[in-house]
Amino acid sequence: MVNEKTAITDFNMDFFSLKGKNAIVTGGNSGLGQGFALALAKAGANIFAVSIMDDNEETKKLIENEGVKYHLMIADITEEGACKKIADKCVEVFGKIDILMNNAGICICEEDVTRFDRLKWDKMIHINLTSAFELSHEVAKYMIPQKSGKIISTCSLFSYLGGQWSPAYSASKHGIVGFTKAYCDELAQFNIQVNGIAPGYFATEITQQTRSNPEANQKVLNHIPVNRWGNVQDLMGAMVFLASDASNYINGTVINVDGGYLVR
């Protein structure tokens, strides 16, 4: 039987520390992924970033300034065998994998739904959903024997909404939520937590066009109770929390970081 008084008194802020942990972050050297990687580094984790892009020296500097290790692997996660190579390389470089952040994703929009063809659909589903499964599958092979691990995926408001102009984006993000629940059910017995983070509308390069249009910008703000766009810093606390021991009894859950968008 659990001694509840002891459990309460044993809790301390070290539960939020990631010191000595190793984290894979896909899409980790730019955009929201860079913020996720930096949050993990600030909490003490070594960062194994995966990107299809060339090296970003800014990310390397930001991470290493936190006194942790940084390794970037250039890889296309949709290529056959790439996810196994990523997991194996992380173990080769850092010794083990404690955290996986499935962040890589794309959004292709097409105003005319009849022009949103199979090629666009397949590309988005593969990058946003199938690759998250494949990498989680490979990482789980390392986490199960060590009986610990955190698998976290970037979801979206469109994990819950229809989303005009990009049916594959909405479908893939709905799929990530289903995958999160399914893998929680499979891996919880091994002390592995599988959760998601769903960002709302964030001020990034991707949303610049909307934010620069006064009418479109106001339409978004009218739907957000806090009346502002999110910034990358708003996501960093949720990232550290889900990656840390402070969230060990949270499993199969998605944390919405949306300024209250979904309540309206």
Is the separation of the CB atoms in 185 and 173 below 8 Å? no
Is 169 a known active-site residue? Answer: yes
- Using CA atoms, how far residue 151 sits from 5, 114, 121, 160, 212, in Å, is 30, 36, 25, 21, 35
195 three-state secondary structure: strand
Which residue type is seen at 202?
F
Residues 6 or more apart in contact with residue 249 via CB below 8 angstroms: none
Alpha helices (H) along 54-130: 57-64, 82-94, 118-125
Is the separation of the CB atoms in 25 and 32 below 8 Å? no
User: What is the Cα–Cα distance from 4 to 176, expressed in whole angstroms?
Assistant: 35
| Catalytic position from the list 169, 183, 201, 261 | 169
Angle (deg, nearest 10), helices 57-64 and 31-42: 20
Q: 139 phi and psi, to 5 degrees?
A: -65, -35
Pairing of strands 192-199, 46-51: unpaired
User: What is the Cα–Cα distance from 61 to 14, expressed in whole angstroms?
Assistant: 26
- Closest to 251 measured CA to CA, from 187, 201, 176: 187
User: What is the Cα–Cα distance from 68 to 42, expressed in whole angstroms?
Assistant: 9
Write out the catalytic residue numbers: 169
